[in-house]
Amino acid sequence: MLKRLKPIKISRSKEKLSNRIGVPLIEELVRKFRLREKIDEQFGFPGSNRGIIASDYIMTLVYMFIDGALHLEDVRHLMSDEAFQELLADMKLPTSDAIGDWLRKYGGKQSETKIFQVVKQLLLGLTKQGEILDIDATIIESDKGDARKTYKGSYGYQPLLGIISENAIVVGSDFREGNISPQMGIVEFIKSCRRNYPQAIKIVRSDSAGWQKEVVDYCVQEGLVYTITTDQTEGLLEAIKSIPEEKWKRSVDKDNIKEDYEAAETEYRFGSKKRTVRIAAKRTKLKKQYDLFLNYSYWIVATNLSKEDYDSQAIIELHQGRGIMEKRIGELKNQLNLDKVPCGQFDANCLYFTIGLLAYNLLQMLKLIGLPEEYHTKSVRTLRYQLLKLAGKVIFHARYLVIQIAAPLKNIELFNAAYYRLRYSPIPSG
């Protein structure tokens, strides 16, 4: 027998309710690393007739990214949430029009640099070491007036990103026009990533955009290890053809089970100094038969890794690790909605995108500092719905706030442990 649905009476609650009860976790990170102060040091105090300062604009956007906002107009959801605002530090929320005006006024490449100065402050508390820099470009499609045609045929922008593989921290971004060559400015970009990251970068991994003599020469000069996917030029393919058949070895996984590809290596003369580059090749047999050489598809990696430490299969496996970049870029675009930009001006969109990266890094630091290790690889979406966008009530007392959370006990316990770890851990504040 179906349970009878009782009639409903609707009334307005006067209690401070919110579905953004996770705000204090982000606020503790911001407080601990003096991020608001750092933001205002970098951007000054532009002010407004409402007394809104740079850190108000930037932190409002950060919370919008964390909230999953799609448009600047979505700030209204934060402005209508009284409990959310009570959980913030002394901060004012600007309107969507004010945010757009501020982005257009203060955007540009210099602001991109300023945001990463703020990120450097945050990284003072980095607890998980990392030494592999993955670099890759992505396409942000856009119908804005200044969007340029990309190599894929769509219109938009083409930001270049640098992410530390082991801890998923974004240490560099170059927001670029859509029609720019993916190969442009790679050396300068690596330099900027090294400046932004407080630890030593030892390995640089790149797709074929990094296959240039300037990149190889720079890595050698700086003592950096590189692994780079090569273009399959005629010269390189001839070098692969010259590998004796008996040198090709079937690869095996960690359990000694044979995989579906073979690996071998050779050397190749490359660059302005015609330096010898080690080449590791992966070949996979095609189902349709051609001649001997065309029976296989090839994937070629250039490196300066030593033969003593890495054989050809180990090189390929190390380089394949940069595949995690696709997952992280997917998070940025699909879970923080950085595949959308709000303005018709390049400089404004540059600043907007870079603030989104700051939000991503804050979430990553929350995982690394505040949460147990099994949460360090959780997605933005998981973090959002298990920890940040929880429903609850805020109750005021003379010296403190009480937060009553409507969530499973495990979520509440996780929240409580994270809050006390963030508030009382001896992480440097800069």
Domain membership flag for residue 36:
no
| 1 band by pLDDT with thresholds 50, 70 and 90 | low
> Rounded distance, CA 236 to CA 320, Å?
20
In this prediction, residue 7 carries a pLDDT of 83
Question: Given strand 401-406, what is the order of strands in its sheet?
Answer: 16-18, 391-396, 401-406
In this prediction, residue 427 carries a pLDDT of 66
pLDDT, tens digit, for every residue of 286-345? Answer: 776 655 556 788 899 999 999 999 999 999 999 999 999 999 999 999 999 999 999 999
In this prediction, residue 429 carries a pLDDT of 46
Domain membership flag for residue 303:
yes
CATH number for the domain that contains residue 219: 3.90.350.10
DSSP-based three-state secondary structure for 133: strand
How would you classify the pairing of strands 132-137 and 203-206? Answer: parallel
Where in the sequence is the domain holding 324, given as residue range(s)? 114-330
pLDDT, tens digit, for every residue of 374-402? Answer: 999 999 999 999 999 999 999 888 788 88
Domain membership flag for residue 323:
yes
Domain membership flag for residue 162:
yes
| 30 band by pLDDT with thresholds 50, 70 and 90 | very high
In this prediction, residue 406 carries a pLDDT of 92
Domain count, the chain: 1
In this prediction, residue 269 carries a pLDDT of 87
**Cβ-proximal residues to 218 (8 Å cutoff; 6+ apart), any chain:** 187, 190, 224
What proportion of the chain, given as a percentage, has pLDDT over 70? 93
Domain membership flag for residue 362:
no
CA angle 409, 415, 417 (to 5 degrees): 100
> Rounded distance, CA 27 to CA 120, Å?
18
Summarize the confidence of residues 94-112 as an average pLDDT. 95
On the question of pLDDT at 430 being above 60, the answer is: no
What is the DSSP secondary-structure string of 356-389? HHHHHHHHHHIIIIIS-GGGTT--HHHHIIIIIS
In this prediction, residue 345 carries a pLDDT of 94
In this prediction, residue 272 carries a pLDDT of 60
On the question of pLDDT at 181 being above 60, the answer is: yes
Summarize the confidence of residues 65-79 as an average pLDDT. 96
For residues 241 and 172, the model is more confident at: 172
Strands (E) in 242-295, as ranges, are: 249-252, 258-270, 275-285
| 60 band by pLDDT with thresholds 50, 70 and 90 | very high
Cα–Cα nearest to 206, from 133, 266, 315, 311: 133
In this prediction, residue 359 carries a pLDDT of 98
In this prediction, residue 256 carries a pLDDT of 60
Domain membership flag for residue 86:
no
Cα–Cα nearest to 357, from 197, 204, 173, 127: 173
DSSP-based three-state secondary structure for 412: helix
Q: Which ranges in 178-243 belong to alpha helices (H)?
A: 186-196, 213-222, 234-241
Phi, psi of 202 (to 5 degrees): -110, -25
For residues 174 and 145, the model is more confident at: 174
